[in-house]
Amino acid sequence: MRIAIYGSGGVGAYFGGRLAQIGKDVTFIARNENLTALRTQGLKVGSIAGDFSIDKVKVTNNPAEVGIVDYVLCCVKAWQVRAAAKAMKPMVGPDTLVVPLQNGVEAPTQLATILAPENVLGGLCAIVAFQAGPGHIKHSGANPLIRFGHLDNRPDPRVHALSEVFNHCSGVKSSIPEDIQVAMWQKFMLITPWSGLGAVSRAPLGILLEQQETRDLLTRAIEEIYQLGRALEIDLPADSVSKTMATLEDIPPNSTTSMQRDLIRGRPSELDAQNGAVVRLAHEVEVATPVNQFFLYSLRSLELRARGALTFNRRSQHR
């Protein structure tokens, strides 16, 4: 079993590292200082599920050097998926399965427009992890979970085999959902309102839940995504909103999302793949999403500025 990790930040390096820890043939696709550190120093992971390190790491910045693999974990940011799909083509053969682990629900479609649709699974993960430095990952929250499956939910021994391998890893739980589309939308309902409200308020999750006003906004944003999913014929259970809120209650109160952290630090974020996707998809099916619209429009100028598409001219400011 040969596995490639395309994108070796917090998510990719953690899950790829756990696979390498049990001796699986894992190659990381990395770049810049991270590439150099992995080559020269190996991978170091500090984890609430147990620290570990991999001294000898297979790593490259050129997918063509890897050749065809059995599985590719696509772990780049959501806005990088199309470019990653083009770059990973030399690693994708007729029987290769590509597992997208982005926030949002559009990555499988984006991958399938460039790769063969039969190569692309739906997927999601749950983990709070980030790159603490080149070659150094910090897992600071959540019990790591990875779930994936064919978009039409058909059984496949290759999917089962990968899930079983993950379940032999320390610090990872894997499962194959009955309906991967539902599972992806359930995560979408959780992460997107939290990301948007967290970025607008610059507050951790515990504060958002503690204050009644922000708690109400969070609930309303989740309800909007639930109604959107139902309009798009995603078979979300009737209790999805209350279960999402209950899941948020179980997350450590000091937690923040990657989109929130990126926007606060002036970096490009997944705004378009999260609140932007809600507004865009809702427009197509005429579902009202005023709270998610508020998050999107409030944050868009920060996103544009981070991408160099917007600058502030002090002379134009009102006095």
Chain-centroid distance of CA 201 in Å reads: 22
Token pair recorded at residue 307: 């991408």
Q: Is residue 119 part of a domain?
A: yes
Given a cut of 80, is residue 318 above it in pLDDT?
no
Given a cut of 50, is residue 277 above it in pLDDT?
yes
Q: Is residue 313 part of a domain?
A: no
Q: Is residue 311 part of a domain?
A: no
Lowest mean pLDDT among 15-19, 119-123, 139-143, 206-210: 139-143
Residue 310 has what pLDDT? 63
Considering only CA atoms, which of 53, 48, 279 is closest in space to residue 141? 48
β-pair partners for 56: none
Q: What is the pLDDT of residues 183-241, one digit of tens each?
A: 999 999 999 999 999 999 999 999 999 999 999 999 999 999 999 999 999 999 999 99
- d(Cα 56, Cα 95) in Å, to the nearest integer? 28
> Is residue 191 within 8 Å of residue 249, measured between CB atoms?
no
Among candidate residues 115, 142, 176, the one where a domain is terminated: 176
- d(Cα 145, Cα 148) in Å, to the nearest integer? 10
Say whether 305 sits in a helix, a strand or coil.
helix
Band the pLDDT of 309: cuts 50, 70, 90: confident
Within this chain, do residues 285 and 151 fall inside the same structural domain, yes or no?
no
Among candidate residues 176, 210, 237, the one where a domain is terminated: 176
- d(Cα 290, Cα 278) in Å, to the nearest integer? 10
| Element housing 58 (H / E) | strand 58-60
Q: Is residue 316 part of a domain?
A: no
Q: Is residue 217 part of a domain?
A: yes
Within this chain, do residues 168 and 293 fall inside the same structural domain, yes or no?
no
Given a cut of 80, is residue 313 above it in pLDDT?
no
Given a cut of 60, is residue 273 above it in pLDDT?
yes
Dihedral angle computed from the Cα positions of residues 292, 296, 297 and 302, in that order, rounded to the nearest 10 degrees: 150
Residue 145 has what pLDDT? 96
Within this chain, do residues 105 and 244 fall inside the same structural domain, yes or no?
no
Within this chain, do residues 226 and 258 fall inside the same structural domain, yes or no?
yes
Given a cut of 60, is residue 292 above it in pLDDT?
yes
> Going by C-beta distance under 8 Å and a sequence separation of 6 or more, which residues neighbour residue 121?
97, 98, 99, 100, 108, 148, 149, 150, 151, 159, 180
> Is residue 309 within 8 Å of residue 260, measured between CB atoms?
no
Alpha-carbon distance values, 178 to 152, 183, 196 (Å): 10, 8, 29
Within this chain, do residues 65 and 211 fall inside the same structural domain, yes or no?
no
Given a cut of 60, is residue 103 above it in pLDDT?
yes
Q: What is the pLDDT of residues 170-184, one digit of tens each?
A: 999 999 999 999 999
For residue 301, give its domain range.
Answer: 182-306
- d(Cα 18, Cα 171) in Å, to the nearest integer? 8
Chain-centroid distance of CA 74 in Å reads: 9
Q: What is the pLDDT of residues 45-61, one digit of tens each?
A: 999 999 999 999 999 99
Task: Find the mean pLDDT for residues 80-88.
Answer: 97
Beta pairing, strands 92-100 & 69-74:
parallel
Residue 142 has what pLDDT? 81
